[in-house]
A and B are shown apart, each in its own frame.
Chain A
Amino acid sequence: MSGEPLLSIKGLKVHFPTSSGGLFGATRPLKAVDGVDFDVFPGETLGIVGESGSGKSTIGRAVLQLIKPTAGTVAWLGTNIAGFTRAQMKSRRREMQIVFQDPLASLNPRMTAGDIIAEPLDTFEPQIKADERKARVQEMMAKVGLLPQMINRYPHEFSGGQNQRIGIARAMILKPKLIVADEPVSSLDVSIRAQIINLLADLQKEMGVALIFISHDLAVVRHVSHRVLVLYLGKVMEIAESQVLLSRPRHPYTQALLSAAPVPDPEVERGKKRLLIEGDLPSPLDPPSGCVFRTRCPKAQAQCAQDIPALEPRGGASDHLVACLFPD
């Protein structure tokens, strides 16, 4: 990727205070995101993949300042927006939008599809005339594959896939520069999932919007993303172009993720040697010392418990970053 990044994240930390018990118990931080750096370039899709508790959704929300970062900078077109007030953020919001996982829960049940999709317009272009508003909503509906005559229907009259289309239309109507899509297809059925994935790809091509695509499903992330960031316990393990990440993963965690994902092909599955990693994700309240992945890593050595591996370029490519003391 070349040119100026749209979004540049440096040292992003999001810690949530939690009580350690008792009425006067001291609080201790839950480090949901703990020192994350990455850039997003105009028009690209950055995939963020991680298991539950890895902090992937928290990053998405911190980018949009829906959660205040504890530390670090979130530079939007060169300006640090971390710590912006609501009023200061408002002018930026029309350029950055979000699509949520649960389509029905993220739409107001008492508003019609048309009003939901027009809400960003009402906020940012209140002077717009009624007929132009309707025309723009219907144009957007057609773009996301909804029939324009459905404009007066309510969310409960739509299926899950259609509701997700409404959510996407709402996010797209102001022609933003960036959309954070947080597990946008996880709650949808397989056949509908492919429709939404294709729709996002088409809209990106047409409108040139950058996407941060957050998912636990590596196959989906790989399919939609130009670059993929692998997250584990609030830290970046590996970032690379999606093709490179797939063919030449260097971090043991990425390798394990790739090997764990079931492939819909019996021959491949039978011939596959699974690289199983033991156990579950450790609690982010009490992360391991040194490298956070070491407790489940098949290659862990004594040094891994002491030194925190830095995210560094590996394998001769400046855009393939790996945080591992003993990478492949």
Chain B
Amino acid sequence: MTSVLAVKDLAVSFATPEGAVAAVDGVSFSVEKGECVGIVGESGSGKSQTFMAVMGLLATNGKATGSIKFQDQELVGMKIDKLNKIRGSKMCMIFQDPMTSLTPHLKISRQLTEVLVLHKGMSERDARAKAVQMLDRVKIPDAKRRLDQYPHEFSGGMRQRVMIAMALICEPQLLIADEPSTALDVTVQAQILELMQELRSQGDMSIVMITHDLGVVAGLCNRVMVMYAGAFCETAGVDDIFHDPQHPYARGLVGSIPRLDRPGEARLTAIRGQPPNLQHLPMGCTFQERCDFVFERCIAERPALSTFAPERAKACHLKGFDKEGKVVR
């Protein structure tokens, strides 16, 4: 089976006055047909930039090297007009802030139908009908009337629905969602997540969910990749990440979230220190300064992401953690 997306040794660096910053440091992964992958990491971990590189949307001072194959087509170095035929139609991205991703002075009908007319050569009329159908699908009430409204006439949650409708209108094979519910209120976030779940179960579209919120990943994704300082530190099925995380950072993340369903526990297990400066990464493991289990090898040699069980990989020199959570060296 060929993957929808196959990324190999992708590195993203930005040229800054203080020298180059490596935001993504040689990551390899694939996204299979119909699966939902969660990319979890803190700000600056490179989770967004990895997929900005996939979409060819890096800032002008950014440079991607390596290989990004979308349905066997190499995207790195692809000519922009050829790339434009793929992104926005076969592969779409939705962003965190629905207000700044819609053009404020254009009616949403125009913004929705444009892709259809452009990518699929549809007539204006067919495109409008399809747009109404899409708004219905993302559960915008009274879709026909709302089609001719401007973005400011929609609430935050509704705008995010419009964004999702826009991304889905060409029926993409891959949907990349970058923190789609972070800017929304809890009750509205629940509505959007419910919608994403529905979309996931309806077809064979693959979804990549980029988020800092492990709770969002738990309900939606079947596979999770945890990013730290520009590289993956652990990748696993969703149950393993939550119940048996093997990288100290992943363990720390899971332990540092207050939980509504587990009353009584007194203290969160915080990860000490702060994320490293990407310009001055240590020679060995990037997590060494915050890790409670650091030993000589961690300082001398950076661990590579390696498979240690079926469908599971981690970048750590430790043997792992046993069922009681004790470290095995």
Interface residues in chain A, defined as those with a beta carbon under 8 Å from any beta carbon in chain B:
51-52, 159, 161-162, 189-195, 197-198, 201, 216-220, 222-224, 243, 246-247, 256-270, 272, 274, 276-278, 280-281, 296
In the complex the two chains form, is B186's CB within 8 Å of A260's CB?
Answer: yes
CB distance from A250 to the nearest CB of B (A): 17
Known: A191-B271, A216-B186, A264-B242. A276 touches B194 (CB 8 A): yes
Stretch at the interface among B60-68, B103-111, B167-175, B262-270: B262-270
Interface 0/1 of B33-53, CB less than 8 Å to A: 000000000110000000000
Interface 0/1 of B244-259, CB less than 8 Å to A: 0000000011111111
B163 within 8 A of A: no
Contacts of A264 in B (CB 8 A): 214-215, 217-218, 242, 254, 257, 259
Q: Which residue of A lies closest to B274 (CB)?
A: A159
Contacts of A262 in B (CB 8 A): 189-190, 193, 213, 215-216, 218-219
Stretch at the interface among B12-20, B116-124, B150-158, B310-318: B150-158
A42 CA / B256 CA spacing, docked (Å): 28
Q: Which of A189, A216, A258 has the most CB of B within 10 A?
A: A189
Known: A159-B274, A190-B42. A265 touches B261 (CB 8 A): yes
Question: Sorted from nearest, which 5 A-B pairs have the closest CB atoms?
Answer: A262-B215, A269-B219, A223-B258, A260-B190, A194-B256
Interface 0/1 of B125-169, CB less than 8 Å to A: 000000000000000000000000000000111100000000000
In the complex the two chains form, is A193's CB within 8 Å of B190's CB?
Answer: no
B299 within 8 A of A: no
* 11 A–B contacts, CB within 8 A, in A order: A190-B214, A191-B252, A194-B268, A261-B190, A261-B215, A262-B216, A264-B218, A264-B242, A264-B257, A269-B215, A280-B155
Contacts of A198 in B (CB 8 A): 267-268, 270
What number of residue pairs across chains A and B have CB atoms under 8 A from each other?
135
Instruction: Find B272's partner among A195, A258, A265 (CB 8 Å cutoff).
Output: A195
Q: Which residue of B lies closest to A267 (CB)?
A: B239
Interface size on B, residues (CB 8 A): 47
In the complex the two chains form, is A263's CB within 8 Å of B252's CB?
Answer: no
Contacts of B268 in A (CB 8 A): 194, 197-198, 223
Q: Which of B187, B190, B213, B255 has the most CB of A within 10 A?
A: B187
Main secondary structure of the interface of A (DSSP, over half): helix
A260 CA / B187 CA spacing, docked (Å): 6
CB distance from B156 to the nearest CB of A (A): 7
In the complex the two chains form, is B259's CB within 8 Å of A276's CB?
Answer: no
Instruction: Find A260's partner among B189, B242, B256, B267 (CB 8 Å cutoff).
Output: B189
Interface 0/1 of B167-200, CB less than 8 Å to A: 0000000000000000001111111011000000
Q: Which residue of A lies closest to B257 (CB)?
A: A264
B212 within 8 A of A: yes
Contacts of B212 in A (CB 8 A): 189-190
CB distance from A24 to the nearest CB of B (A): 25
Q: Which of A52, A264, A269 has the most CB of B within 10 A?
A: A264
CB distance from A319 to the nearest CB of B (A): 17
A262 CA / B40 CA spacing, docked (Å): 15
A52 CA / B215 CA spacing, docked (Å): 20
In the complex the two chains form, is B256's CB within 8 Å of A193's CB?
Answer: yes
B1 within 8 A of A: no
Interface 0/1 of B281-299, CB less than 8 Å to A: 0000000001000000000
A191 CA / B219 CA spacing, docked (Å): 21
A222 CA / B260 CA spacing, docked (Å): 7
Q: Which residue of B lies closest to A197 (CB)?
A: B268
B54 within 8 A of A: no
Contacts of A280 in B (CB 8 A): 155-158, 185, 188
In the complex the two chains form, is A51's CB within 8 Å of B187's CB?
Answer: yes
A198 CA / B269 CA spacing, docked (Å): 9
